[in-house]
A and B are shown apart, each in its own frame.
Chain A
Amino acid sequence: MNSYDEPTLQAMKNVAYNLGEDKSATFFARDTQIVDAHSATSAVEILPIEIALEKYEWLRKLSYSLVSADQDSYVEEVANNPANLGYFIRVRAGEKVVLPIYTCYLIDSSRFTQCTHNIVIAEEGSEFHLISGCTSNVHAESGRHIGVSEFFIHDNAIVTSTMVHSWGKEVEVYPRTAAYVGKNGTFVSSYVALGSVKSVQMDPKAIIKEGGLGEFYSVIYAPEGSVFDVGSTALLEGEGASTQMISRVVSNGGHVLTRGKIIGEKSGGRGTMACNGLLLSDKGFIHAIPELVANNPNLELSHEASVGMISKDELAYLMASGIEEDRAKSLIIEGFLDLHIPSLPEYLQRQINALVEETKVFDTI
């Protein structure tokens, strides 16, 4: 096993990358250096993207097919980056991998731009759970992380992808994620960001085929000085395709745009969207932008959004039982952010909850 210094271990811990935990495969990169990429099971293949692209000719066709290399300046920067940092993960047909696959990107040097390109393939009928942590070391306050991720989820496959961010105050983050979800496939994307960052801008997309399901969850705590522009887009391309988007956002001075877009194409498509925001301070704002596009009459698409402050009645009720004001607010906020993600395995949900518990920085309320 590799040995890591104390700040690195702490950074890893902040994104749930626990060395002791059982994993089916791991990938860990510091700045542009891949420190660890190995799999404990033949069901999971994990390789540095550079090696995988050399090894598999077919992969070159998939590369930048979901996220176009000229989509925007950030993707261009990744596509042209000489470091060719990234991972390739493939889970073989029919394999149900119980233990999670952990990946972690760490920005170790200040003012460093980390470009990554990941390709994840779930072969037909496979199932696995990916947890990706992205973080910066305490001494690396500034930097940029630009991550392109392409998910190919074949028919009847199930993939949950949980992305946990923990950054320094001056870090800018531009994830570019897209997923293809085959017939009756499932893609569950969860995003957790509970701390400081300069800005995060992302809008992961899923193209969902017949009977497929795409779920998007995000839990965001935006402190003062942070800017989040976070959305998700689902294209219901097949009959009976469905999607669910839920986001919970707390702004304590941070600027938050929370978007959701569902585009229905074929009959039987269903989509729901719920965005709830809690605004703690008048220094911040929350702007919810839900969009529904129906190109077929036989669709059920709906959204609900709410933005408000902590309810005075709830606060008074808790205080009337002897809980002091700050503690009562924390309880309400934690409860608000406690999102139950039905498609996640129980142990993963527990881990996320523990993470929320550990990384919460509500002291500035």
Chain B
Amino acid sequence: MNTNILDIANLHVAVGDKEIIKGIDLSIKKGEVHVLFGPNGSGKSTLLCAIMQLPGYTITEGSVHIHDTDTAELTTDAIANLGVGMSFQYPPKIKGVTLRRFLDSISQSRDLHSSIAALNMEPFLERELNVGFSGGELKRAEILKLYAQSPDLLLIDEPESGVDIENITVISNAINTILQKESPMASRERSALIITHTGNILSTVHADVGHVFMDGKIICTGNPLDIMEDIKKGGFSGCIQCIANHKEKQ
């Protein structure tokens, strides 16, 4: 039996005429947390958007399977309902729709009281969704959305960018709760693919696998903390050098 929640094979994605994702293979097992590192514009967000089949992202080659289901012919809501939730890097404002109304529409009457409290979101429930939210508030609202959806696979795009230290802790703890981090590995049902620039989140959220993403490709996969250390020391140019050295040796 395939225990993978996500299977991506030879994925190519174009935005308009431009190929952004240039052949990716990536599988995430049940209970695993993967992080994606990569420079601005390398295509990280594009990968998440393509998994959700958001409009404007065309899969030109390859496939995405969620729980063994090929998503090629599915609409965005159908993919979400397979058990995928995405925290957007830039969520749009939705005028006239309160955060409470939105949560009610997606939570299938799950009790969100404790999650709302944990993310300090009570004061925002009657506000219009994402309208006038600060950077940190946007991120907290996105994580609260994931609580409400309670998906098997979390796609989280830069949860810590533009967020102060205290709120990074709040957000990281919330992610851990959704990922059932208090339970033993074998009983965890949920997985995540988290995009991070700074890696700050890794001090609280334990990740199992790290990938370096560059120019539409995964160029390196390994222990996330080791990768982060290397990037901190040598930057992404260091990664390029490292790969080149590696190839020479081979």
Contacts and interface: CB of A to CB of B under 8 A. Distances in A.
| Interface-centre pick from B76, B91, B106 (highest chain A CB count, 10 A) | B76
Contacts of A338: 96
A335 B105 contact: no
A332 B149 contact: no
A342 to B, nearest CB: 15
Given A322-B81, A323-B105, A335-B128, A316 B96 contact: no
B106 A322 contact: yes
Contact of A320 (B52, B94, B148): B52
Q: Is the interface of A mostly helix, strand, loop or mixed?
A: helix
Contact of B75 (A311, A314, A318, A325): A325
Contact of B97 (A312, A313, A319, A331): A331
B97 A334 contact: yes
A324 interface: yes
Contacts of A332: 94, 97
Interface in B89-148: 91-97, 101-102, 105-106, 128, 145, 148
A28 to B, nearest CB: 33
A313 B128 CA distance: 16
Contacts of A313: 92
B86 interface: yes
Nearest to B96: A335
Given A331-B97, A336-B96, A320 B105 contact: no
Contact of A317 (B56, B91, B148, B149): B91
Contacts of A312: 55-56
Contacts of A275: none
Interface residues of A, number: 23
A360 to B, nearest CB: 13
A327 B101 CA distance: 13
Interface of B is mostly: mixed
Contacts of A311: 92
Contacts of A317: 88, 91-92, 94
A313 B101 CA distance: 19
Contacts of B88: 317, 320
A319 B54 CA distance: 9
B6 interface: no
B149 A321 contact: yes
B85 interface: yes
A115 interface: no
Contacts of B105: 318, 321, 323, 327, 331
B80 interface: yes
A319 B95 contact: no
B77 interface: yes
A321 B80 contact: yes
A157 interface: no
B54 A316 contact: yes
For A321, A325, A332, A336, the residue with the greatest tally of chain B CB atoms inside 10 Å of its CB is A321
Interface in B13-65: 52, 54-56
A322 B92 contact: no
A335 B94 contact: yes
13 contacts: A316-B55, A319-B75, A319-B80, A320-B76, A320-B77, A321-B106, A321-B145, A321-B148, A322-B106, A322-B149, A331-B94, A334-B96, A336-B95
